[in-house]
Structure formats: structure tokens, C-alpha cells
Amino acid sequence: MQHIQSASVMQTFVLAARREGKRIGAVPTMGYLHDGHASLVRMARAESDIVITTIFVNPLQFAPNEDFTRYPRDFERDWSIAEKAGCDVLFTPSPEEMYPQGFQTNISIGGVSAPFEGVFRPTHFDGVATVVAKLFLLTQPDKAFFGQKDYQQCMVVKKLVRDLAIPLEIVVCPTQRENDGLAMSSRNVYLSAEDRIKSTILWKSLQAAQNLIQQGERHRDRIETILKETLLTMNGLTIDYAAAADADTLEQPTEFAPTQGIVLLLAVRLGATRLIDNLVVR
Amino acid sequence: MQHIQSASVMQTFVLAARREGKRIGAVPTMGYLHDGHASLVRMARAESDIVITTIFVNPLQFAPNEDFTRYPRDFERDWSIAEKAGCDVLFTPSPEEMYPQGFQTNISIGGVSAPFEGVFRPTHFDGVATVVAKLFLLTQPDKAFFGQKDYQQCMVVKKLVRDLAIPLEIVVCPTQRENDGLAMSSRNVYLSAEDRIKSTILWKSLQAAQNLIQQGERHRDRIETILKETLLTMNGLTIDYAAAADADTLEQPTEFAPTQGIVLLLAVRLGATRLIDNLVVR
């Protein structure tokens, strides 16, 4: 596996590879890789000639009060996980490499950025869209692989790609879960032993709401009520949002149509740790 | 010369051309082509295997009170001018093709967008940055050619390219002028016969300020005074701005350093017509 840290070296490498007709797969991450990331790399491996995993903890997508500085980092473990999953190039630019002196560009995506995460992290998706656009230009992938765990982020990135006609395909891969259902996330390492046990309530509440929908329930308030009631059986948990929305547009009708795909979206806090999860029911 | 109107056809065409190693030159325009545009196409011709001229009157860069609907259009004349100048592909997407239903992306460039045009046309450069980014992704040029007449626009586009690492080179070409010095512009067609005569004062004021600088004047207020005093010898002319700034940063020091490049920037109104011009003195 090759290690590239320079943006211009990365871009020169992929432009040459594209001229040779190589299919490039990119897996943009913030590092501290887990089996969810590994599944993305394996998927990229299966569909690409060259697999690039990017590791960049993007300061633009963290608000000042968020966990940018304490976000977990472990380069050697990341190297080993990426290599075992079949990665060819690990691209780890520094913040100065991505945002050199005088960087002044911001990309914002209206609509799908606004609700849910957009309410609680108002600058987050601008930071995501800006860094992802730049990572796409630096790595020139034919396909880029994202985890469904960040459901709204996947929608923002798809919108970015469609609106600007970035010539690549976004592949959304299934959320990987621990045995007890907790969605894999680099932030799970923040959880105390007690909160780790409590965290299983996210998956339980998603499943409870899924059951209700599968029994025929289409009223949004009733679906959201079971999400919230299940979550709040756990002491010390705060809900940022627990919502049901159209799986394709994130619109929130009073009642879903019988054939309408529904995404259940959660963001909760356990102690100082913020967890998100989601489930699509079609 | 080929005519392409579909964004996806355009992109498929250039991606194939790039795989064959062809060097692509793009000339983004709003049409109603004049000798200034023709000089850009000729420059592109000299430095490219495939020359693409884009014609798109971009609604995003016009404010509601501006001249979007009456902006001059003449496809047949544009075709003839582009073809004679050596263009291979005329790309004329519709607004629906560039901004399909649900388009929600906005790119903004801080800093160089803020002064001058940014004060009088606050949403203008967001519209420029957004459309230019998309046109670059659709035409995938190695080099893109812009006229110096839109000086601040050139700086915004260069910043966009540098910040996002778009893999191309921006070539800024000299302003083409009528015999009496008026900078060529599609908007000159708006001028009444009387205002057309008055419009020569822009170039005269730029030259007067250039003479002053070449005689050693480095105080910004004195340079700007001669610009304004010269302009205001003409009745019925309103000044939006008449300014001297650092040619590389657009900063406006009280006094310029002896070796500092200076750009003289004008925007004036003659009747309902707004004209801009500039001159760099190094």
C-alpha cells in the first residue's frame, strides 16, 4: 500500500491512472477505521482497479464546541485495517494541505441539508460538501463509497454530485453493526461501559418502529412516538431528534403513502457522546 | 463545428477525449460574442486539441433587478464568430439542463468576492463560482480562457480553482478594445449613440491614472481622485466605484509600495447601462 500526503502528488497520480483507463474507487473517511470502513474498502476493491482510502479529520465540518481536537486518531491501526481490506493508496493530507493559507471557498447544499443534523449542526454539511468536493477533485474516482450510517450525509453528497455533475457514482453501503446492534462508529470509543450498554436502545427503537410500519402504520406521529418512547426507557439519554421521513427527499408528511419509502432517523446524546443511526423501511 | 446542448453528452464527449490524451481548451461565455471572445477562442485554439466555447446566460449571476431577460442573444452570429475563431464544439445548455428541478448547490468564495462588484452585486460571484465550477466539470478543460475585462471575476475563478484543486489552468487574456478605447462588452449594445460617445471616458480616466502612477504617485486617494475627476467631466455618468487596489489581492492600502502591482477598477452607469473596465499598472 502506498502512502500519499501531498494533494498535488495525489492528483497527479490519479490523473495518470485515469489516462491509462484505470477505474478508481475512493473511500473518504475521518480515520479511526472500524469494520464499517473496512466493508467500504472491500466494496471499492471489488469494483475498482485502484482503491484510495482518504483519512482526513475535516476541521470545517466541526463546530467550535464539537469534538474536533479529541476526535480519535490511530494511524498505525488505520494502515493495517485499510491494507487488509485491499486498499492501494492511503491518502492522509494535513489540514494545511487541504486548506492552504487563504482558502476561502464554501459549498452549501440547500434542501436536504436543512433538517435533522442541519438543525443541530448548522455548519456541518457545508464543511462536508466542501471537503468532499475537494477530495473528489483530488482523487478523481469513478465510484466513491459511503456508509449508510450517515444517511443524511449520503443524501447531501449525492445532491452535490448531481447538482455539479461531478462525473462519478456514489455507492451507499449498509451500516455495519456490533453484535448487539449498535451501529459501528469511530465515536463509540467515547462511550463509558455503562453508556455502551445503554446505547443498544437506538437499534431497539429503530426495530420497534420498523415493526410498527410493517404492521401497516403510516402516521408519522405514531411512528415517531414509538421511536421516542423506546429511547426514553433509558435513563440519562437525551434525544436531538427521532424522526420518520421520506427516504428519498427527507420530507415529513403527516401520513406516509402506502408505497412511500420511510427512513427512521435518530440522534441522541449519552453523556457527552452524540450517536446517530437510521433504518430504511420500504 | 459541433453543437452540443445536453450536459451529459458534453461530459461523455470530453471524458472520452481526455482518455485519448487530447488537450481541451474551454472558453466560458454568455454569448453575444464579440472580438474579445474571439481572441479567447483563438488563444484556446493555439493551446488545445479541442476547443469548446460555452454559451450560457447564467440566471444565478443576475439579481432580480438586473438585465437577465434583456441580455442580448444572437445564436447564428455567435456560431459564425466561434467557428471562424477556430472553435470545435459550441456547448449551449439550457437553464433547465444546467439547473434541473431541485438544484440546490451554491459555491461562494470569500475575500476577493467581497469588494467592488461584490458590494454592488452581492449575489453575483456566488452565481459565477457555481456555474463556472459546473461548466468546468462538464467540459473538463486543461485550460480555461477568460478576458481580463472581468478582472475581479478572473480572481474569483482562480481562487475557486486553487481552493478546490480543480485540475486546470486559468488563462487570463488581454481586454480587447474598440478603436476609441472602449472595452468590448456584449452590454455595449445597450448604449445610446450619445452614451456610446461618453463611454470613452472610462478608458481616458484609466489612462490618466496610469500616467499619474507612472510619474511616481503611490497614494491611493490621489490615484482614485484623478479617476473620479476624469469620469465626472462627463455629464449623466454615475460612478459605482473607481478604485485602485493591489493587483494580486484587491487590498486597498493608503499608499502602495513602489514595486506593488496596482489594478485600477471602474464601474459606472451611463443611462440604464452599467459598464466596467480596468487597467493593471506594474
Which ipTM was obtained for this model? 0.96
Q: Is A16 on the interface with B (CB under 8 A)?
A: no
Low-confidence ranges of chain B (pLDDT < 50): none
Q: Measured between alpha carbons, how far is A24 from B24 in angstroms, rounded to an integer? A: 22
Give yes or no for a contact between A112 and A250, defined as CB atoms under 8 angstroms apart. yes
**Assigned C-alpha cell, B76:** 447564428
**pLDDT (mean) for A39-49:** 98
Q: Measured between alpha carbons, how far is B144 from B51 in angstroms, rounded to an integer? A: 10
Q: Measured between alpha carbons, how far is B100 from B60 in angstroms, rounded to an integer? A: 13
- Predicted confidence at residue A235, as pLDDT, reads 94
State the first-to-last Cα distance of chain B, in angstroms, to the nearest integer.
40
Give yes or no for a contact between A258 and A218, defined as CB atoms under 8 angstroms apart. yes
Q: Measured between alpha carbons, how far is A13 from A184 in angstroms, rounded to an integer? A: 32
Closest-CA residue of chain A to B142: A15
Residues of B in contact with A18 (CB under 8 A): 18-19
Q: Compute φ and ψ for A98, nearest 5 degrees.
A: -80, -40
The chain-wide mean pLDDT, for chain A, equals 97
**Assigned C-alpha cell, A180:** 448487539
Q: Measured between alpha carbons, how far is A22 from A228 in angstroms, rounded to an integer? A: 48
Q: How confident is the model at residue A96 (pLDDT cuts 50, 70, 90)?
A: very high
Q: Is A111 on the interface with B (CB under 8 A)?
A: yes
- The residue among B105, B108, B126 with the most chain A CBs within 10 A of its CB, best to mutate, is B105
Q: Is A104 on the interface with B (CB under 8 A)?
A: yes
Query: Tell me: the pLDDT tens digits for A212-237?
Result: 999 999 999 999 999 999 999 999 99
Residues of B in contact with A104 (CB under 8 A): 109-112, 159, 163
Closest-CA residue of chain B to A127: B107
Q: Is B132 on the interface with A (CB under 8 A)?
A: no
- Predicted confidence at residue B13, as pLDDT, reads 98
Q: Measured between alpha carbons, how far is B153 from B158 in angstroms, rounded to an integer? A: 8
Radius of gyration of chain A (CA): 19
- Predicted confidence at residue A141, as pLDDT, reads 98
Residues of A in contact with B105 (CB under 8 A): 107-110, 129, 159-160, 163-164
- Would you kindly state where each structural domain of chain A is located, as residue ranges? 2-173, 186-281
Kindly provide the b/e burial profile for residues B116-148, where b requires at least 16 CB atoms within 10 angstroms of the residue's own CB.
Answer: bbbeebebbbbbbbbbbbbbbbbbbbbbbbbbb
Query: Tell me: the pLDDT tens digits for A195-216?
Result: 999 999 999 999 999 999 999 9
- Predicted confidence at residue A179, as pLDDT, reads 98
Of these residues, B34, B37, B124, B219, which one is catalytic?
Answer: B37
Residue with cell 410498527: A212
> What beta strand segments (E) does B148-190 contain?
169-173
Give yes or no for a contact between A184 and A149, defined as CB atoms under 8 angstroms apart. yes
- Predicted confidence at residue A47, as pLDDT, reads 98
DSSP B271: T
Counted residue by residue, chain B has a size of 282
Nearest to B187 by CA among B179, B173, B199: B199
Give yes or no for a contact between B87 and B55, defined as CB atoms under 8 angstroms apart. no
Q: Nearest by CB to A167, from B15, B102, B166: name it.
A: B15
**How many contacts (CB atoms, under 8 Å) link A and B?**
81
Q: Measured between alpha carbons, how far is B260 from A242 in angstroms, rounded to an integer? A: 58
Q: Which CATH class is domain A186-281?
A: alpha beta
CA distance A155 to chain B (A): 12
Helix/strand number for chain B, H first, E second: 10, 10
Assigned superfamily of B186-277: Pantoate-beta-alanine ligase, C-terminal domain (3.30.1300.10)
Q: Is A251 on the interface with B (CB under 8 A)?
A: no
Q: Is A101 on the interface with B (CB under 8 A)?
A: no
- Where does A2-173 sit in CATH, by number? 3.40.50.620
Q: Is A109 on the interface with B (CB under 8 A)?
A: yes
Give yes or no for a contact between A140 and A15, defined as CB atoms under 8 angstroms apart. yes
CA distance B131 to chain A (A): 8
Residues of B in contact with A133 (CB under 8 A): 164
% pLDDT > 70, chain A: 100
Query: Tell me: the pLDDT tens digits for A244-257?
Result: 999 999 999 999 99
- The residue among A130, A142, A163 with the most chain B CBs within 10 A of its CB, best to mutate, is A163
Give yes or no for a contact between B87 and B52, defined as CB atoms under 8 angstroms apart. yes
Which neighbouring-strand residues pair with A4? Answer: A91
Residues of A in contact with B18 (CB under 8 A): 18-19
DSSP A22: -
Residues of A in contact with B110 (CB under 8 A): 104-106
Q: Is B11 on the interface with A (CB under 8 A)?
A: yes
Q: Nearest by CB to B159, from A11, A104, A108: name it.
A: A104
**Assigned C-alpha cell, B28:** 466560458
Q: Is A124 a catalytic residue?
A: no
Cβ separation B165–A107 shorter than 8 A: no
Query: Tell me: the pLDDT tens digits for A119-149?
Result: 999 999 999 999 999 999 999 999 999 999 9
Residues of A in contact with B103 (CB under 8 A): 163
